[in-house]
Amino acid sequence: MPGLVLLTIQAVIYFGVMAALLRARKTYGVGLFVCALGVMHFLETYLAAVFFIELPFGLLSPGSTVLFSGKLIMFLMLYIREDAEVVRQPIYGLLIGNLLLVVLALVLRLHTDVVQMPGYAPDLKFLDQIGVLMVWGTLLLFVDCIMLILLYEKLSSLFRRNALASAFVGSAAVLTFDQLAFFPVLHWVTGTPFSALTGGWVAKMGAAALYSLMLAAYLRFEAADGRKGGRPIGDVFQALTYRGRYEELLRRSLIDELTGVRNRAAFEQACRDRLERTSVDARPLTVAMADIDRFKEINDELGHAAGDAVLRAVGRTLEAHVRDDDLVFRYGGEEFVILFRDLAHRGGMEIAERLRVAIAQEVEAAGGRRVTVSLGVASSEFGAGDLRGLLAKADKRLYEAKRLGRDRVVGEAAPA
């Protein structure tokens, strides 16, 4: 049917352009992606109000079927590749922008000197209708996004990180809720017939299937080319608000004052907020635990000031020799934890050995005493998994390194 073909072409074009903008965020920033979403919002609402096509299963609007369903999937993609902090920013922005539209439309009514242009007449009633639908649609979008993200996380665990199944079941459920919640307001404002309720729902189920398929392909493609999800991009507005100042204070509270690396609280936060979140692309994670050899002797013989100097030097050396996306934590006492994100076991072992050599060559205690570290390494080939479980394995292998004579890296349990 020509109608279905055209809808499919529109969906593919929409997804292709938005996915390209999301992928380009590492080069140009996430602003391009967010602005494109915002620009499409008015067209989406306009089409949902006035533009319908008829197919055998009922009336439907490309605004709801293609653009709104696609936007929901775009927010899910942004969440997967970034995090909840980033994905909520454009949602709030859309809501504020739509409220502003309604307020400005009300102010327009105060003009008494409106000039009628030949062949045109300003239709403020229609603008009012669009404003109501945009605000209601954005409120629903806010709820929809939260529901979809929570469902996706739950379903990812249930479906063993199958992105296609998780995205389809989650988006189908959320789009069903959205159709039932949006249509009564649409009918009240515009008089849209009830055949659009069932027709729009059937079309949205098809859109959920198509977009989920493209989402799964996109995630597989990104994993296949070895690129990693970018770090969250800071928002200027947040930086100028109390929240921005609060987050700066929070960030400082997660830094170890002595060494300047992240502290144990930061490690626990990483476990909760990022690294234990279900991963759909199954990228590996490697954990190394490092312990300064004979550190107690340094404190006892040279004093605690010398010991503190060694801790600072080890922290600086670790951060200087890891990759940009790796994280270094002072876990406690003379122990440090290093997280190698998107790195399999072999690569983790190579960097751990590089760290061991660097400390042996670059760090020394007072009086020229040589400083060395022992490291235990553990990896997961299936995404972040149980980070604390990986740390426990790395800790055991650290003690194997100690038992075997110190100043070495152990990546698997050594024979007794």
pLDDT tens profile 165-222:
999 999 999 999 999 998 898 888 878 888 889 999 999 999 999 999 999 999 888 7
Three-point CA angle 177, 179, 182, nearest 5°: 105
Q: 252-262, pLDDT tens digit by residue?
A: 678 888 898 99
Q: 379-412, pLDDT tens digit by residue?
A: 886 555 567 888 899 999 999 999 999 999 998 7
Predicted pLDDT at 112: 77
Provide the H-helix boundaries in 240-386. 242-253, 264-270, 295-302, 304-321, 345-362
Token pair in block for residue 42? 């008015």
Residues forming a β-bridge with 255: 262
112-126, 147-161, 331-345: range with lowest mean pLDDT: 112-126
The band of 231, judged by pLDDT with boundaries at 50, 70 and 90, is very low
Predicted pLDDT at 159: 85
> In the predicted model, what is the mean pLDDT of residues 151-170?
86
For residue 75, tell me if it sits in a domain.
yes
For residue 154, tell me if it sits in a domain.
yes
For residue 350, tell me if it sits in a domain.
yes
Are 176 and 292 in a shared domain?
no
Residue 223: how many CB atoms within 10 A of its CB?
17
For residue 232, tell me if it sits in a domain.
no
Token pair in block for residue 3? 């109608």
Q: Which residues of 169-205 are buried (b: 16+ CB within 10 A; e: fewer)?
A: bbbbebbeebbeebbebbeebbebeeebbebbbbbbb
For residue 37, tell me if it sits in a domain.
yes
Token pair in block for residue 286? 């490697």
Domain that residue 324 falls in: 257-410
> In the predicted model, what is the mean pLDDT of residues 111-127?
74
Q: With a cut of 80, say whether residue 164 has pLDDT above it.
A: yes
Are 272 and 194 in a shared domain?
no
User: Which of residues 146 and 212 earns the better pLDDT score?
Assistant: 212
Q: What are phi and psi of 240, to 5 degrees?
A: -100, 10
Are 216 and 312 in a shared domain?
no
Q: Which residue has the tokens 């690569």?
A: 347
For residue 248, tell me if it sits in a domain.
no
- Residue where one domain finishes, among candidates 166, 201, 224: 224
> In the predicted model, what is the mean pLDDT of residues 124-128?
69
CATH number at residue 319: 3.30.70.270
Predicted pLDDT at 246: 45
Predicted pLDDT at 81: 81
User: Which of residues 272 and 229 earns the better pLDDT score?
Assistant: 272
Are 215 and 287 in a shared domain?
no
> In the predicted model, what is the mean pLDDT of residues 317-328?
92
Are 205 and 352 in a shared domain?
no
Ranked by mean pLDDT, which of 99-103, 155-159, 163-167, 363-367 comes out on top? Answer: 163-167
- Residue where one domain finishes, among candidates 224, 249, 266: 224
CA distance linking residue 58 with residue 202, whole number of Å = 8
Are 213 and 78 in a shared domain?
yes
Q: With a cut of 90, say whether residue 268 has pLDDT above it.
A: no
Are 141 and 206 in a shared domain?
yes
CA distance linking residue 344 with residue 290, whole number of Å = 18
Are 140 and 7 in a shared domain?
yes
For residue 229, tell me if it sits in a domain.
no
Q: 333-387, pLDDT tens digit by residue?
A: 999 999 998 888 999 999 999 999 999 999 988 778 899 999 999 988 655 556 7
Are 351 and 292 in a shared domain?
yes
Length of the chain: 416
> In the predicted model, what is the mean pLDDT of residues 77-87?
79
Q: Which residues are CB-neighbours of 69 under 8 A, at least 6 positions away? A: 171, 175, 204, 207, 208, 211
Are 177 and 285 in a shared domain?
no
Strands (E), 5-141: 53-55, 58-60
End-to-end CA distance of the chain: 70
Token pair in block for residue 155? 């379903």
Q: With a cut of 50, say whether residue 236 has pLDDT above it.
A: no
Are 271 and 220 in a shared domain?
no
For residue 53, tell me if it sits in a domain.
yes
Contact 355, 375 (CB under 8 A): yes
pTM of the predicted model, to two decimals? 0.54
Predicted pLDDT at 371: 94
Contact 170, 176 (CB under 8 A): no
> For residue 407, which amino acid is it?
D
Q: With a cut of 80, say whether residue 248 has pLDDT above it.
A: no
Token pair in block for residue 271? 């476990």
> In the predicted model, what is the mean pLDDT of residues 82-97?
77
Predicted pLDDT at 250: 54
Predicted pLDDT at 381: 63
Are 266 and 355 in a shared domain?
yes
- Residue where one domain finishes, among candidates 224, 246, 278: 224
> In the predicted model, what is the mean pLDDT of residues 295-309?
91
Mean pLDDT of the chain: 82
| Distance from chain centroid for Cα 243 | 19
> In the predicted model, what is the mean pLDDT of residues 152-157?
82
Domain count, the chain: 2
Predicted pLDDT at 139: 83
CA distance linking residue 109 with residue 149, whole number of Å = 40
> In the predicted model, what is the mean pLDDT of residues 219-230?
53
Predicted pLDDT at 15: 93
Contact 134, 101 (CB under 8 A): yes
Q: How far is CA 192 from CA 52, 125, 137, 169, 212, in A?
A: 10, 16, 16, 28, 28
Predicted pLDDT at 358: 95
* Nearest partner of 76 among 260, 218, 215, judged by Cα: 215
